[in-house]
A and B are shown apart, each in its own frame.
Chain A
Amino acid sequence: MSAIEVKNVNFVYGKKTPYEVHALEDINLSIKENCVTGIIGHTGSGKSTLIQMFNGLVKPDSGKVFVDGKDIWEKPKEISKIRYKVGMVMQYPEYQLFADTVWEDIAYGPKNMGLSEDEVKERVTTSAAFCGLDGEALAKSPFDLSGGQKRRVALAGIMAMKPAVLVLDEPAAGLDPRGRREILGGICKYQKESGTAVVIVSHSMEDMAKYCDELFVLSHGKLLLHGDCKEVFSEGELLRSAGLDVPEIYGVVKAIRKQGADISKYIYTVNGAVDAISRLLEGRDE
């Protein structure tokens, strides 16, 4: 069963005004359990609207959204329950911190779920560890931390609710390369150990190639492509026409093939390219 299922979903902003925009048009997709799914698309392609449907922040004009096989809008009054199941980390979540200490900020979600004190404690410690926050950081005020650390606190706060699906909108935006690696690496580690579904929205093709198992590409509110990295990034022309691109290394690998070395076509990371070249040299390439 899929973690989230979206069926024939449509959404229009500014209906019956001159500013009407068809933000999502007849979208059908399913987010698999136990894997990292990436959603890419140009600015204004409908990514954020789509992920806000996953936890009921936006209600589709038509069509249905299923979480765990259940229509989330069946009982509209209970929609807030869905937000514990589908945890959402918004863009620049560090602006949402509010508590006196990091510990309290992370504990806010689990406490509101009515968990016992021991359970809350356990969850705060585990999720802080995934996000690379140590005991010392937990005692500090979140406002004394650097931007990158604040972001980890916000992320840990959502993880602590143990949502069945974790959705992240641009979790690495504005971070330096090491910060990107640490935060995205932490998210993937969390995914593997928890076995949940993780959805990441990003503009970095290099990061998506490195961390995602499945990709959905949106363009002007429509689903343009779907598949694993191999399938999606082999559509370079289509991606570029949608305002996106392929990872840099893919361009190099393509040029290597053009110059006559029969290296595999499906390479999207530098380490992948190094491995493929060594396979080629040992004469055991595919």
Chain B
Amino acid sequence: MEPLIKFENVCYTYTGNDAEPGMFAVHDLSLEIKEGEFVAILGHNGSGKSTTAKLMNMILAPNSGDIYVEGNKITGRELTDEDVFEVRKKIGMVFQNPDNQIVATIVEEDVAFGPENLGVPSQEIRKRVDEALDIVGMREYARHAPHKLSGGQKQRVAIAGVIAMKPKCIIFDESTAMLDPMGRKEVMNTIRRLNKEGMTVILITHYMNEAVLADRVIVMKSGEIYEQGDPKDVFCNVERLWEAGLEVPQTTELIFKLNKKFGWEIPLGVYDFDTCARLVTEKIKEVRGENVGN
């Protein structure tokens, strides 16, 4: 099957000036996103994550290289507004600051804004809005004013607005960065649920414990792919991630540091609290047992 999104040797440069020529924000990037996949993109500030996302739904156009959405080439020719519309219908985006994405004064009107602009018939809009609010668990707030909601709730309304456009894929560009711990949990649960129901999810984040939930992690550095694979494998490469200015989940960091300090060989991995604790406790008991024996 055709991948949903495909990049072939994509380059993008932000325009510079004479003193400082533009730098590659994305350099010779090739990647594929399959339908239904949950991909997390990590990388330090300026590594090219957000540029990549903006290339995916045509907010930016590459300087060279090709991008395909469902097998259709969206680069290399004069594009009409319809072309852009088609892509944005398929690939939605949720940004960092919920306050910048909400346009209406009533929750359900805000969610209806996207489908209205797509020319969806009004009865269908009603249906889509209700469904979308159900999915994010905000139906009971349909008639509330968005500015009075919490950060997590607002972000869920923004997600509902994208869902109502029935995209195949949603890109979350650091959508939890401004939320408190509970708001982050709410949004992450919504994202996971969407993915389970078949939505392709691309999650750009600085939180490693969010990236762990993905099927695949792509780590970017200087506009290129630095590392990719199963989150468990990627996060085991602790020192390599540190080099890229990133961190690993605290459970992995603990085991890595213990292994290093005591010469232990607890298998590195991404664990929940209990598994991590069991591995560490067993080792402590084992070592103490030996000490007693000596």
Interfacial residues, chain A to chain B (CB-CB below 8 A): 19, 41-44, 144, 146-148, 170, 173-179, 203, 205-206, 240, 243-245, 247-249, 251-256, 258-261, 270-271, 273-274, 277-278, 280-281, 283
Contact = CB atoms under 8 A, between A and B. Distances in A.
**Chain A interface mostly helix, strand, loop or mixed?**
helix
B179 to A, nearest CB: 7
Given A178-B44, A179-B45, A281-B262, 8 more contacts: A41-B180, A43-B183, A243-B182, A245-B181, A254-B277, A261-B280, A280-B284, A281-B291
B14 to A, nearest CB: 11
Given A203-B179, A203-B181, A243-B182, A176 B246 contact: yes
B20 interface: yes
B281 to A, nearest CB: 4
Given A256-B280, A270-B257, A173 B177 contact: yes
Given A261-B284, A274-B258, A176 B183 contact: no
Contacts of A281: 262, 284, 287-288, 291
Contacts of A252: 250-251, 254, 273, 276-277, 280
Given A43-B152, A174-B177, A248 B288 contact: no
**Chain B interface mostly helix, strand, loop or mixed?**
helix
A175 B45 contact: yes
B122 interface: no
Contacts of A144: 20
Interface residues of B, number: 44
Contact of B44 (A179, A205, A206, A278): A179
B245 A176 contact: yes
A177 B174 contact: no
8 contacts: A147-B46, A177-B245, A177-B247, A244-B181, A248-B273, A252-B251, A258-B277, A261-B284
Nearest to B178: A173
B285 A271 contact: no
Contacts of B20: 144
A276 B46 CA distance: 37
B249 to A, nearest CB: 7
B148 interface: yes
Query: Of B43, B174, B178, B183, which is in contact with the most chain A CB atoms at under 10 Å from its CB?
Result: B178
Contacts of B285: 260-261
Contacts of A148: 45-46
Query: Of B151, B181, B246, which is in contact with the most chain A CB atoms at under 10 Å from its CB?
Result: B181
Contacts of A170: 178
A270 B281 contact: no
Contacts of A254: 273, 277
Given A42-B150, A179-B44, A248-B250, A278 B180 contact: no
B179 A43 contact: yes
